[in-house]
């Protein structure tokens, strides 16, 4: 297509067959040029510096090297002009929210039609965000529910599994040293998790943490 500016795409997936299939599909579309392939997050970061893609198709679950979420966060910091579109099999709210939090420009399922994938690539390449339809519906539903409930704190899904563990123990009255011993981590790490929990939830004091944990049904005792 002479005169057409192609969208430069890099594919990141640990399965060679998936990469080759996507490459054939995208190159055939005529408006996309696949400029690189990577099998894990580490390789993706190195390659992005060389090929300067417009869009990165990023898988989430890659057993070797950095996973998709970690790589997404680092790439957004290092290559802010590059849009990252998560292409995954995980139709799961937790993965979706973490991907958004990591800086992804879009999220689409591998089961989506080819036309939808191309639409998603065009959308994020233009600087806009893209979510597959049912994900958008779920996000809107949660947002409306929070408005109805008059919630003043951040949603629980912003927290990692470890941060939730720390939140539960803080709410139960354990000191930092006791939490560190229970979770087999350092006191400094406990303090870091507590700070992040407070920031993400918009809380400032331990009583507020306890109240939040109670409302969310997290404060249970064996």
Residue 7 near residue 125, CB atoms below 8 Å: yes
Backbone Cα Rg of the chain: 20
What percentage of the chain exceeds 70 in pLDDT?
86
- Structural domains present in the chain: 7-138 (3.40.50.2300), 156-215 (1.10.10.10)
Query: Measured between alpha carbons, how far is residue 154 from residues 12, 29, 42, 141, 203 in Å?
Result: 32, 41, 31, 15, 9
Q: What is the pLDDT of residue 27?
A: 87
Query: What integer pLDDT is reported at residue 198 of this predicted model?
Result: 87
Pairing outcome for strands 32-38 and 55-58: unpaired
End-to-end Cα distance, the chain: 66
How far does Cα 109 stand from its chain's mean position? 14
**How many of the other CB atoms lie within 10 Å of CB of 64?**
11
Query: What's the rounded Cα separation, in Å, for the pair 169 and 134?
Result: 35
What stretches in the chain show pLDDT beneath 50? Answer: 1, 147, 150-153, 222
Q: What is the pLDDT of residue 179?
A: 92
What pLDDT score does 35 carry? 95
For helices 176-183 and 187-201, angle between their N-to-C axes, nearest 10 degrees: 110
pLDDT one-digit tens code per residue, 16-36: 999 999 999 998 888 899 999
Record the pTM: 0.62
Q: How far is CA 140 from CA 134, 136, 143, 147, in A?
A: 10, 6, 5, 11
Helices marked H in the chain — which ranges?
Answer: 16-29, 41-51, 68-78, 93-102, 114-125, 133-149, 161-171, 176-183, 187-201, 206-215
């Amino acid at each position: 297509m002479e005169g057409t500016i192609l969208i430069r795409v890099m594919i990141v997936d640990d399965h060679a067959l998936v990469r080759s299939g996507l490459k054939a599909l995208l190159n055939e579309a005529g408006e996309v040029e696949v400029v690189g392939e990577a099998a894990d997050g580490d390789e993706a970061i190195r390659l992005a510096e060389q090929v300067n893609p417009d869009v990165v198709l990023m898988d989430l679950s890659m057993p070797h090297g950095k996973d998709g979420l970690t790589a997404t966060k680092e790439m957004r910091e290092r290559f802010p002009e590059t849009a990252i579109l998560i292409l995954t099999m995980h139709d799961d709210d937790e993965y979706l929210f973490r991907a958004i939090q990591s800086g992804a420009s879009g999220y689409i399922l591998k089961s989506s039609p080819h036309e939808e994938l191309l639409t998603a690539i065009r959308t994020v390449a233009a600087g806009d965000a893209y979510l597959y339809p049912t994900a958008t519906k779920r996000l809107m539903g949660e947002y409306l529910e929070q408005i109805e409930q008059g919630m003043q704190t951040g949603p629980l899904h912003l927290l990692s599994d470890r941060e939730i563990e720390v939140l539960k123990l803080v709410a139960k009255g354990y000191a930092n040293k006791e939490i560190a011993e229970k979770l087999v981590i350092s006191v400094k790490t406990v303090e870091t998790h507590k700070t992040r929990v407070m920031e993400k939830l918009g809380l400032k004091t331990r009583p507020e943490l306890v109240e939040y944990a109670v409302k969310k049904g997290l404060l249970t005792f064996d």
